[in-house]
Structure 1
Amino acid sequence: MAHESFEDEVVARYVNERFVAVKVDREERPDVDAVYMEAVQAATGQGGWPMTVFLTPGKDPFYFGTYFPPEPRHGMPSFRQVLEGVDAAWRERRDEVGEVAGRIRAELAERAGVYGAGAGPGAPGEAESEQALAELARGFDAARGGFGGAPKFPPSMVLEFLLRHHARTGEESALAMAARTAEAMARGGIYDQLGGGFARYSVDAGWVVPHFEKMLYDNALLIRVYLHLWRATGDPLARRVVLESADFLLRELRTPEGGFASALDADSVDEESGKSLEGAYYAWTPEQLTEVLGVEDGARAAGWFAVTRGGTFEHGRSVLQLPRDADDPEGFARVRAGLLAARGGRPAPARDDKVVAAWNGLAIAALAESGALLGRPDLVEAAARAADLLLAVHLTAEGRLLRTSRDGRPGPNAGVLEDYADTAEGFLALYAVTGEESWLALAGGLLDTVLKHFTDEASGSLYDTADDAEELIRRPQDPTDNAAPSGWTPAAQALLTYAAYTGSERHRTAAERALGVVGALASRAPRFVGWGLAAAEALLDGPREVAVVGPADDPRTAVLHRTALLGTAPGAVVALGDPAQASEVPLLVARPLLGGAPAAYVCRHFTCDAPTSEPAVLAGRLGVRVEE
């Protein structure tokens, strides 16, 4: 619509003469998107983007739609016809318009707080966890991985739940669903087989042809999922995906200020046609492979990457896949490097340089954990630098978050719940891998804001916007995951993690009450509360609290610390400190060395097993996979 209608001089003149045009970036203002999308769905039974909404001066919606073509098409009116009809209604039948707007506002008001009844004192228990697993199994695509049919989105939050459930219960079907889905995505076209990183979703059920846009949140979430799969199984493919995708973030999404940009576009200029086409940067023909690699390596590459004469994509081109590992690893590495270098000479997709606090929080957690577990200190450093940017640019003097920045300059929009939750999650992960207590304190400050400004004290439910945010037609509130986790359940997870470090009953109770809504949705819609189900697994396991104490320069301390981080116990927290130095972290208080040697304490609710200085003993207590 931007190209077809908004940039048309005649249409634009008509709009500007009769309307106040407001174009909303849903990434900048997810709260505005949420409330009006709810109105669209309530009125029409469906929604989607682009979303077109006509409002009264009081912000009340009265007419809706999604895409309107420039000319009448397939029974749809043109955008110009819609504008003329709305203008006539506003001038000639304003009373009717007011009545419609009033009915819609009333209906939305009735929906307000609908999730409050679902939240309550109890989080999901064993029964709800098993019901969710059974429902997921019913919708699982055993042949191709994932859940349901086309289009298929990476089920990142559900995979995290499945891995945690397996770690806690030993249920093999949970691990099998997670592993099958992860492998199918990693070998499919949704994964960039040359440069690493995942596209937004697959248009087919087999993960072959993606929508080529690459989003920061998808890649941050998937890096962590594949890391946790590797941690549980030792799968070399999962490890490779983690490192390649992390390198993709650093190479293509990191901004000069140290943050991470939101996305890469799906389309770019195709060198042959000169037109902007989706996937032009990523797709190949056999002839192009031969041109870059020569006849012999070109043919081998076509076999390895499933590039066919007919093509798997448009214009006879194929999206690169990797159905099986290459039979010649050295030759494969050479071919892959050659193709990546050649692709670098193509016109690249544009980058959205907007830095979103929530998505950077997810990236910080993923990079910090990956760097610590896979021996990549540069990834931990990148995570810390991104966190420093959030502190310098996004965190105000009053301790409130701003949602976005660009070129190191803060945007005007207040942070929403997911910004606080995901940023706190990132800071908590940084504390676990570095032992720097300032990260824990900063996470606590953000979570205090969640408790004060986003929480309904009566029900324990959470709102997407703060109580002092700009007033909309209703205060948005949604606990269900979409492409990224809902702010509600990551907030619950972060509250639980903080409570495990500090012993704060206030934070633990808030987490349990917030997760009450997950119990109500677990059996009906588990695919949309995966993050909440994962948090519930942590509650069911304790979560376990691990205090590692010892001098920072003692290699035995480092071994115990890494062993603790390798633990698969769901939601386990890891604190690191030196007893010779005073700590502000309650989990580390009164945890002495063991006979003068570094030690680890494994606790639940601050009640601890006997400390140990033996990594093997610690590994057994935390479900660490024994490495060969």
Structure 2
Amino acid sequence: MANALAHETSPYLLQHRDNPVAWMPWGEEALTRARERDVPLLVSIGYSACHWCHVMERESFEDEAVAALMNEHFVCVKVDREERPDVDALYMEAVQAMTGHGGWPLNVFVTPDQVPFFGGTYFPPQPRMNMPSWPQVLQAVADAWRDRRPEIETQGAQLRERLAASASLRPSDAPLSTAQLEQAVAALRESYDPRHGGWGGAPKFPSASVIDFLLGQGETEMSIATLRAMATGGMHDLVGGGFARYSTDATWTVPHFEKMLYDNALLARAYLHGWQVSGDDLLRRTVHDTLDWMLREMRAPGGAFWSALDADSEGVEGRFYAWTVDQLRAALGGDAEAAIAWFGATHRGNFEGANVLEARGPEPPGDVRARVLARLLEVRAQRVRPGLDDKLLTSWNALAIAALAEAGAVLRREDYLDAARTAAEYLLRVHRDPGGRLLRTSKDADARLNAYLEDHAFLVEALVVLYEATWEPRWLHEARELADAMVARFADEENGGFFSTSSDHQELVARRRDLEDTPIPSGSSSAAVGLLRLYALTGRAEYEERAQSVLALVHEIAPKHPAAFGHLLQAMAFAIGPTREVAIVGPQTDADALARVVRDTYRPRVVLAGGPAANDAVPLLEGRTPVDGDAAAYVCERFACQRPVTGPVELERLLADA
């Protein structure tokens, strides 16, 4: 048996193509081979930016003797969790049920009919810290498969039922209420860290969806403080822009250094909304830093965006980002002492003898600040860069499109709008099969794998945002077509809501729902938000009905566990209202002045349509005309409109409570 990963497009799978392990990609061929050999599958799941995935590969998967043990007893399958979130979600839930914890690398032993029976995360090559060695685990599982098959099969049947539980959720008839939103805010206050910002302790993750929900509810104490704490801490790359995946401590000081496209897209929007609410210039600068980093370092040929930067360079986590005091002095000359005080850098350092830079000391004057950061970026560019995951994922690109489009419109950055357009065009051109079906991933313009609910839902949301930012009807048209395909392929006609995989997807051990908004919004929550906004723009009742069917499944759970349902809570808030539909028609200059009234303030329960004149392609614009040649704004609630206004002051008055 030979390693079969050489023809894959996933950078993570390609990293393992030279292992002596006879890896196969997930698929029917691997399942058939397991059935023919009557052995379990060893399903090893990770992603290219995963530090401990690299460690386990070096320690075990590159070892000839360990590989021989794996090949003898198992059909070995490598899975990129980002390409196959369906497989990852199933087996992560199984391992968490069996062990009480999860993470990556995720190593799961699975029967030939896909039922998991044992699993864990990282295992060392020799026993240590109360952990068995990986060879010991392999031998124990092989012995159990030989000697205890009936027990394994009985436990597997029970676990199969548990994995299918999310699909059996039933809708609630209880109405949505503002009291539920207030309950969610109160619950977040209970777990809030008032000293350092954020929720919970170490490790501490950015909670962009939760922050957006709080800002929409008018809560600024927790949300703005958390945004400021993250922006001034080490998780934010002060030199190059962008955010690491999470903080290893409670103070946002030392990050886990990998940078993910999805985190940065979500955080850019949260910082934009925070700036709209507070006017805090630190938050505005952070939006620019994050999106400028995305355009500079993550943009692929063709205009879409790569997935991630590794935590490691030269085999060492964080080496690319950390600085000693001597390195800072050598790089900065006369600016060094002011910069060292600003960064709080010391000879002892805060990370393995070096410093992860923070911005919690006295900030230098603007010209010094800019010069320091530019010089450090120039010097850092000479270092060995972290590895790049250069696959393009539909869902993560959709998050980037939404961030660029909204920021472009609010901050008047045409380059952001152009980047959003180009990325959307790429997805709609390359990430479709010949029949027009959406695909999940591509590398070097080779797209493959059927898209999931999150791909459809995130892209629907992004196209709606792009339409609202540009008033180009083509994006609304594409959003509607994609929403219709999403309903046709993913809707649960029995209980409401959506499944995470399409009706004709490869059959897995269970068909699941994607519900929790961690670390990114769930496909279900995103579908609800996108469909509600589409309904407000088009008046098509089915969109609202489908969105409400998502909320009926989880709206009683979400307020009790708000940290896990930030995006779903935003959908609830939109559904509860009051919402406004704003249609602006007329000459561009005057129309833009009216649009600024809508855009300058964070208004998550407002949708915006516009153009030079009435437009049948955009239902909200049907029959809307300028007033005496002047641009006019029509403010509507559930399509009942007030008289048009032509001045920004009048429009602001009509939107005072929106």
Correspondence 1:220 to 2:265: yes
Deviation at 1:58, TM superposition (A): 1.4
Letter in 2 for 1:621: L
The residue that corresponds to 1:475 in the other structure is: 511
Of 410, 432, 443, which residue of structure 1 is paired with 2:468? 432
The residue that corresponds to 2:21 in the other structure is: none
- Structure 2 length as normaliser, TM-score? 0.89
Letter in 2 for 1:178: S
The residue that corresponds to 2:167 in the other structure is: 113
CA contact (8 A) 1:418 1:488 kept: yes
Correspondence 1:611 to 2:644: yes
Following the alignment from structure 1 to structure 2, what is the Cα–Cα distance between the partners of residues 449 and 327? 53
Of 28, 39, 42, which residue of structure 1 is paired with 2:94? 39
Correspondence 1:135 to 2:190: no
The residue that corresponds to 2:634 in the other structure is: 601
The residue that corresponds to 1:577 in the other structure is: 611
Secondary structure of residue in 2 paired with 1:546: strand
The residue that corresponds to 1:288 in the other structure is: 327
The residue that corresponds to 2:33 in the other structure is: none
The residue that corresponds to 2:72 in the other structure is: 17
Deviation at 1:624, TM superposition (A): 9.9
Following the alignment from structure 1 to structure 2, what is the Cα–Cα distance between the partners of residues 536 and 97? 42
Letter in 1 for 2:288: L
Deviation at 1:327, TM superposition (A): 4.0
Following the alignment from structure 2 to structure 1, what is the Cα–Cα distance between the partners of residues 608 and 139? 62
CA contact (8 A) 2:615 2:621 kept: no
Following the alignment from structure 2 to structure 1, what is the Cα–Cα distance between the partners of residues 436 and 657? 38
Correspondence 1:181 to 2:226: yes
The residue that corresponds to 1:398 in the other structure is: 435
The residue that corresponds to 1:363 in the other structure is: 400
The residue that corresponds to 2:373 in the other structure is: 336
Of 358, 364, 379, which residue of structure 2 is paired with 1:321? 358
The residue that corresponds to 2:236 in the other structure is: 191
Following the alignment from structure 1 to structure 2, what is the Cα–Cα distance between the partners of residues 542 and 105? 42
The sequence identity of aligned pairs, in percent, is: 47
CA separation of 1:181 and 1:200: change in aligned 2, threshold 3 A: same
1:352-371 CA deviation, whole Å, 9 max, x = no partner? 00111111101001001111
Deviation at 1:337, TM superposition (A): 1.2
CA contact (8 A) 2:497 2:547 kept: no
CA contact (8 A) 2:214 2:220 kept: yes
CA separation of 1:539 and 1:567: change in aligned 2, threshold 3 A: farther
Letter in 2 for 1:572: V
Following the alignment from structure 1 to structure 2, what is the Cα–Cα distance between the partners of residues 183 and 123? 36
Secondary structure of residue in 1 paired with 2:118: strand
Following the alignment from structure 1 to structure 2, what is the Cα–Cα distance between the partners of residues 285 and 600? 56
Alignment of 1:62-141 (within 5 A): 62-109=117-164, 111-114=165-168, 116-117=169-170, 119-120=171-172, 124-141=176-193
Letter in 2 for 1:534: Q
The residue that corresponds to 1:158 in the other structure is: 210
Of 147, 167, 181, which residue of structure 1 is paired with 2:199? 147
Deviation at 1:472, TM superposition (A): 0.6
Kindly indicate whether structure 1 or structure 2 has the higher relative contact order, using CA contacts under 8 Å at least 6 residues apart: 1
Letter in 2 for 1:598: A
CA separation of 1:199 and 1:237: change in aligned 2, threshold 3 A: same
Correspondence 1:234 to 2:279: yes
Of 473, 479, 492, which residue of structure 1 is paired with 2:528? 492
1:144-193 CA deviation, whole Å, 9 max, x = no partner? 11111111100100000011111xxxxxxx11111000000001001011
Deviation at 1:18, TM superposition (A): 2.6
CA separation of 1:395 and 1:6: change in aligned 2, threshold 3 A: same
Secondary structure of residue in 2 paired with 1:22: strand
1:229-288 CA deviation, whole Å, 9 max, x = no partner? 11122211111011111100000000012111111111112xxxxxx2111111111111
Letter in 2 for 1:305: F
Correspondence 1:27 to 2:72: no
1:349-391 CA deviation, whole Å, 9 max, x = no partner? 1110011111110100100111111121011000111101101
CA contact (8 A) 1:120 1:513 kept: no
The residue that corresponds to 1:555 in the other structure is: 589
The residue that corresponds to 1:171 in the other structure is: none
1:181-217 CA deviation, whole Å, 9 max, x = no partner? 0000001001011111111000111101111111000
Alignment of 1:239-278 (within 5 A): 239-269=284-314, 276-278=315-317
- Structure 1 length as normaliser, TM-score? 0.93
Following the alignment from structure 2 to structure 1, what is the Cα–Cα distance between the partners of residues 158 and 350? 49
Correspondence 1:513 to 2:565: no
CA separation of 1:587 and 1:120: change in aligned 2, threshold 3 A: farther
CA contact (8 A) 1:544 1:569 kept: no
Following the alignment from structure 1 to structure 2, what is the Cα–Cα distance between the partners of residues 194 and 161? 29
Following the alignment from structure 1 to structure 2, what is the Cα–Cα distance between the partners of residues 564 and 423? 23
Following the alignment from structure 2 to structure 1, what is the Cα–Cα distance between the partners of residues 173 and 242? 40
Q: CA RMSD in A?
A: 1.7
Following the alignment from structure 2 to structure 1, what is the Cα–Cα distance between the partners of residues 111 and 442? 31
CA contact (8 A) 1:368 1:433 kept: yes
Following the alignment from structure 1 to structure 2, what is the Cα–Cα distance between the partners of residues 318 and 263? 23
Of 335, 340, 348, which residue of structure 2 is paired with 1:302? 340
The residue that corresponds to 1:170 in the other structure is: none
Following the alignment from structure 2 to structure 1, what is the Cα–Cα distance between the partners of residues 657 and 331? 44
Secondary structure of residue in 2 paired with 1:600: strand
CA separation of 1:122 and 1:607: change in aligned 2, threshold 3 A: farther
Deviates more, 1:23-32 or 1:554-563: 554-563
Following the alignment from structure 2 to structure 1, what is the Cα–Cα distance between the partners of residues 574 and 72? 57
Which consecutive residues of structure 1, in runs of 5 or more, have no partner in the other structure? 167-173, 270-275
CA separation of 1:298 and 1:486: change in aligned 2, threshold 3 A: same
Of 106, 112, 137, which residue of structure 2 is paired with 1:51? 106
Following the alignment from structure 2 to structure 1, what is the Cα–Cα distance between the partners of residues 72 and 258? 36
Deviation at 1:122, TM superposition (A): 5.7
